[in-house]
Chain A
Amino acid sequence: MSDAATETLSVVVEREIPHPPEKIWRALTQPHLIEEWLMKSDFKPVVGHSFNFRADWGAVDCQVRAVEPNKTLSYTWEAHGLESVVVWTLTPSSTGTHLRMEQTGFRPDQQQAYQGAKYGWPKFFATLEQVLARAE
C-alpha cells in the first residue's frame, strides 16, 4: 500500500477542437473565461505566479510553471492530498486545434485521498450538474 500511495500516475485527456489555438488559449488563461468552464481563479499567465482554483467544496493550490502563448501552459495542482502538475498542449490541426491535458502526480496520503473522494467529489459533481443545468 505504501508503494502504491506514492506512485506517480498520470491522466491524459485529448481532443480535436474546431477552434484556433489563440482562442482556446484565451479560454485557458483569462480568469473570467476560466471560471466559465473550470473554476473561479486568480490565475495570471506568469511563471511563478501562485493562485487558487476555488469552489464551494474547497480550493486547489496552484503555481504557474510554464507559459508559451498559444502552445503550452503548465501549473501545479494540489488538492485533497493530491500533488500533481497539469500540462496543457495546443497543437494547430487542419480542423482547429489538438488540445491535450496531462496531469501527473501522486497522493502521499491514501487515507486523506479517500476522505477527499468520499466527501469532496460527490458534492463537487452535484455542483457541476447544477452549473450545467444553468448553462443550458
Chain B
Amino acid sequence: MPSAHDVLFRTLADPTRRALFERLCREGETTVGALTARAGISQPAVSKHLGILKQAGLVRDRHAGRQTHYSAQVGALAPLMDWTSQMAGFWQSRFDHLEDLLKRMDQ
C-alpha cells in the first residue's frame, strides 16, 4: 500500500505533470498536440510526463490514426482517499517509534 502512495505522490509532486493531469480532469480526453499547445514545453517533454502519469495509472491513452488521445483516470486517486491505508502506515511507523522509546526507557 505505501508504495502505491509513493508512486502517486511522486508522480503528482511535479507541477507540470499535475497541471497536465488537472487539465485532463477538467477538459476530458485531449490529444498530445492540444496539450502541448498550452503546456509551454516541447511535445517530447509532454509525452514523457504523460508516460509517467500513465505508469502511475493516472491517465489512459488511446491511439486514433496519427493522434494519441489521453484521458484522466480519477479512480487512480482512490488510495489517497482511503483513510484506512493512510492510517495503517501511520500507526505502523508509530509502533516503531513506540518500540524505540520503550527500549530507551530501559536505560
Q: Which residues of A contact B (CB under 8 A)?
A: 9-11, 13, 15, 17, 19, 23-24, 26-27, 33, 36-38, 82, 99, 101, 103, 105, 107, 110, 113-114, 117-118, 121-122, 128, 132, 135
CB pair B81–A13 under 8 Å, yes or no, is: no
Query: Which residues from chain B sit less than 8 Å from chain A, CB to CB?
Result: 9, 12-13, 77, 80-84, 86-88, 91-95, 97-102, 104-105
Instruction: With A11-B87, A103-B91, A122-B9 as known contacts, state yes or no: A27 contacts B81, CB within 8 Å.
Output: no
Q: Is the interface of A mostly helix, strand, loop or mixed?
A: helix
**Residues of B contacting A: mostly:** helix
Q: How far is the CB of A57 from chain B (nearest CB, A)?
A: 12
Chain B residues with Cβ below 8 Å from A101 are: 91, 95
Point out the residues of chain B lying under 8 angstroms from A9, CB to CB.
Answer: 82-84
When C-beta atoms are compared, the residue in chain A nearest to B102 turns out to be: A19
Min CB distance A45 to B, Å, is: 17
**Assembled-state Cα–Cα distance A113/B80 (Å):** 9
A residues less than 8 Å from B80 (CB atoms): 114, 117-118
With both chains docked as a complex, state the minimum distance between the C-beta of A8 and any C-beta of chain B, in angstroms. 10
